[in-house]
Amino acid sequence: MIVVTGGAGFIGSALVWALNRGGEDDILIVDQLRETEKWKNLIGLRFNDYLDKAVFIDQLTRGHFGDRIRAILHMGACSATTEKDADYLMENNYRYTARIAAWRETQPGCRLIYASSAATYGDGARGYGDDEADLLNLRPLNMYGYSKHLFDLLALRKGWLKHIVGLKYFNVFGPNEYHKDDMRSVINKAYPQVRDEGLMRLFKSHRPDYQDGEQLRDFIYVKDAVDMTLFFLENPDIGGIYNIGTGRAQSWNDVAAGLFKAAGRPLNIEYIPMPDHLQGKYQYYTCADLTKLEAAGWSKPCRPLEAAIEDYVCHYLSSNAHLSLG
């Protein structure tokens, strides 16, 4: 079977959706639902069972599953870049992943693909190349990025990256992110106001080398991110850390233009001051270097930003729809 941790979350549930579309339903969902609305992401998907994350890691390390797990897609983590509880992030993002990876060493037939993050690159001053030799030079700007970075370093030190894969996701957006509160994409958060009031608010720039709204990000649609992720499931001999992005840096103004067009409203942007707590931790530029990914055999182009936003708005946001087989 295939285990998807964080399987009720954003990227995790999208992976289950894509696996189902490929005929795979021998899937174990691992997550922690509590009082969130994540459960809605599972409606219409096919899987064999669900386990709480604490139950799963206990059963895994006790040998409950034997050799029945063919792959673990470890997407489960606290993804809040503003989370301040460092102990929680260390336990949830770093140590939990380390326990899975240590178990995998006892089961060499099991494929492990885990979610790292582009947040590990910090302000980008050291570039966005995904060469493992450069890991020691990276300086994340927040504790979330650091918790992800720590496991990348552990995997490098232990030699695990020869046979497991870490994926540095850039700015992923798309259906099934509805439950993420403040961590939802700007597209998701802004759509109701664009639709109802014809207005979108963006942060002003606090750097003279960037105009308002011209801060740049590598925005990747979740369907493309999922395709890239499953490429590594289909190619089990590949190991290492890889970027998951489009390789294109585009501005928040580009995002706004695409969103207004998809909503059928004239462009109307209001620029607002950036909160004090974000200044100093804000990335003004991100762009995935895809050289290594393409050298590994990936060749499928990602959707253009405008087309991705149109698909998101017209098929999901406008009706609050989730990824589903129905």
**Whole-number pLDDT of residue 254:** 98
Query: Does residue 64 have a pLDDT over 90?
Result: yes
Token representation of residue 2: 């295939």
Residue 47 C-alpha from the chain's centroid: 21
Catalytic positions, written as ranges: 144, 180
Mean pLDDT on 74-81: 89
For 32-47, write each residue's pLDDT tens digit: 999 899 999 999 999 9
For 135-169, write each residue's pLDDT tens digit: 999 999 899 999 999 999 999 999 999 999 999 99
Query: Does residue 58 have a pLDDT over 90?
Result: yes
Query: Does residue 321 have a pLDDT over 90?
Result: yes
For 253-290, write each residue's pLDDT tens digit: 999 999 999 999 999 999 999 888 777 778 889 999 99
**Whole-number pLDDT of residue 169:** 97
**Whole-number pLDDT of residue 279:** 74
Give Cβ neighbours of residue 18 (< 8 Å, ≥ 6 apart).
223, 226, 227, 230
**Whole-number pLDDT of residue 277:** 77
Q: How far is CA 222 from CA 85, 194, 227, in A?
A: 28, 22, 9
For the segment(s) 2-173+219-245, the CATH number from 3.90.1280.10, 3.40.50.2300, 3.40.50.720, 3.30.70.330 is 3.40.50.720
Percentage of residues in the chain having pLDDT higher than 90: 89
Q: How far is CA 266 from CA 29, 169, 193, in A?
A: 42, 31, 13
Query: Does residue 326 have a pLDDT over 80?
Result: no
Query: Does residue 120 have a pLDDT over 80?
Result: yes
**Whole-number pLDDT of residue 143:** 92
Q: What is the pTM of this model?
A: 0.95
Mean pLDDT on 69-89: 91
Q: Where are the domains of the chain?
A: 2-173+219-245
Dihedral in degrees, nearest 10, Cα atoms 110, 111, 117, 118: 160
Mean pLDDT of the chain: 95
